[in-house]
Amino acid sequence: MSLIKGKVLIAQGGGPTAVINQSFVGAALEARKFPQVTRVYGAMHGIKGIVNEELCDLTEATTHNLEAVARTPSSGLFSTRDKPTVDYCRKIFEVCRAHDVRYFFYIGGNDSADACRIVNEQARSDRYELRVIHIPKTIDNDLKVTDHCPGYGSAAKFVAQAFSGANLDNRALPGVYIGVVMGRHAGFLTAASALARTFDDDGPHLVYVPERAFTRKQFTQDVQAVFLKHKRCVIAVSEGIVDAKGKPIAEQFSGGERDSHGNVQLSGTGALGDLLSSWIKADTKITRVRADTLGYLQRSFLGCVSEVDAAEAREVGEKAAQYAIWHNLDGSVAIHRVGDYAVKYFLTPLHTVAQKTSEMPAKFINKKGNNVTDAFIRYARPLIGAMPTVARLSAPRVRKVLNK
């Protein structure tokens, strides 16, 4: 057990998820059990809050309040897109040292893992005892090492329920429906659109992910073929789809806005969906084409949580406190899948998760690059938990007496 006496500091970074507060509350409540932990602090707005010394004392939050926050989507401690430089980390230190912080837990994606790595190295080179644990979180499901990421299951459930409903709507009033799904480089969330397919002819009929080159010609031919067969077509497409040269199709509409990580804005605009609609109208004879961009609802919609995802998000938070305080370790908490379906947790070095991201394995995408495989369904279905069911009317047709 680590005998280092001092404070715990917890922060949340990057895009919120429906269950990110489960991780924060899991870490806070677990950390409060240890006598060598003098206080549990939360940083407001991630590492920016540390630098600005905007901290709150979670030791004085009630358990009831923390449990209620755990069930609330989005980052209860607020978030930031700041990426720390070495100078930025120096400031983080001054604050940690000044407040006797000895355990730092940062919940986020690969950028947050990288921040953890830098802070950890800085601590070591300064000979300051600071345990740093990265707690994984991302709806993109694109972190290295871990089988999957907390936050993904709930976002995937939202996407599955959205497309299941859109498919029913499209059956009632046929046409082409395009749903644009979040995902800059990894298609996992877009692929989740297929998880609620029940009947053979259920949509989405076409699924396009950033891992495969997207061409207008192939796209409109695919749509035409589906439309001929089913007289309708439901399409799921990642916001991050790229052309044969790897250039995002959406990039020309972004107005050039970039975040501090150099990423072009993809979400919060309906331009990609509208462009794809216009291509279908121009290249085929289909007239009724509708495009929705699922947008921020995917990560923050109230009341669409996978119970599996919520439980795992809670546990990675608890494990962070245990690894750091029981075991005196640094690293990133990762998930190992066992059986069908259970998980075990382990700690992986921070550098194995920092910066890099994963893409969908080739076995999850069909040969044509326009749909997902059964292997993906088997992988992802346990993560979204229980789903509402859909039914089709089963009633015999009446024999015509006039229009025979």
The H-assigned helical ranges of 137-242 are: 152-172, 188-191, 216-230
DSSP per residue, 361-390: -GGGB-TTSSSB-HHHHHHHGGGG------
- Is residue 385 within the footprint of its own copies (CB under 8 A)? no
SS3 299: helix
Could you tell me the two tokens for 156?
């995937």
- Is residue 296 within the footprint of its own copies (CB under 8 A)? yes
Using alpha carbons only, what angle is made at residue 160 by residues 156 and 161, rounded to the nearest 5 degrees? 120
Interface residues for its own copies in 72-131 (CB under 8 A)? 72-81, 94-95, 98-99
Interacting residue with its own copies among 164, 190, 306, 348 (CB under 8 A): 164
Interacting residue with its own copies among 5, 128, 165, 231 (CB under 8 A): 165
Interacting span for its own copies (CB under 8 A) from 60-68, 148-156, 362-370, 375-383: 60-68
Residues 43 and 50 sit within 8 Å (Cβ to Cβ): yes
Using alpha carbons only, what angle is made at residue 183 by residues 181 and 184, rounded to the nearest 5 degrees? 135
- Is residue 391 within the footprint of its own copies (CB under 8 A)? yes
48, 53, 96 from 31: Cα distances, Å: 22, 21, 17
Name the pairing type of β-strands 37-43 and 289-293.
Answer: unpaired
Separation between Cα atoms, residue 382 and residue 144, nearest integer Å: 20
Out of 82, 111, 114, 140, the active site residue is 140
- Is residue 12 within the footprint of its own copies (CB under 8 A)? yes
In this structure, the number of other CB atoms found within 10 A of the CB of residue 108 comes to: 29
Interacting residue with its own copies among 61, 145, 286, 329 (CB under 8 A): 61
Total chain residues near its own copies (CB under 8 A): 87
Taking the complex as a whole, the smallest distance from the CB of residue 159 to its own copies amounts, in Å, to 10
Taking the complex as a whole, the smallest distance from the CB of residue 111 to its own copies amounts, in Å, to 14
Taking the complex as a whole, the smallest distance from the CB of residue 352 to its own copies amounts, in Å, to 27
Taking the complex as a whole, the smallest distance from the CB of residue 317 to its own copies amounts, in Å, to 15
Separation between Cα atoms, residue 82 and residue 285, nearest integer Å: 47
The yes-or-no answer on residue 292 being catalytic is no
Interacting residue with its own copies among 228, 243, 268, 355 (CB under 8 A): 268
- Is residue 293 within the footprint of its own copies (CB under 8 A)? yes
Interacting span for its own copies (CB under 8 A) from 51-59, 237-245, 306-314, 355-363: 51-59
Interface residues for its own copies in 171-200 (CB under 8 A)? 171-173, 177, 196
Catalytically active residues are 140
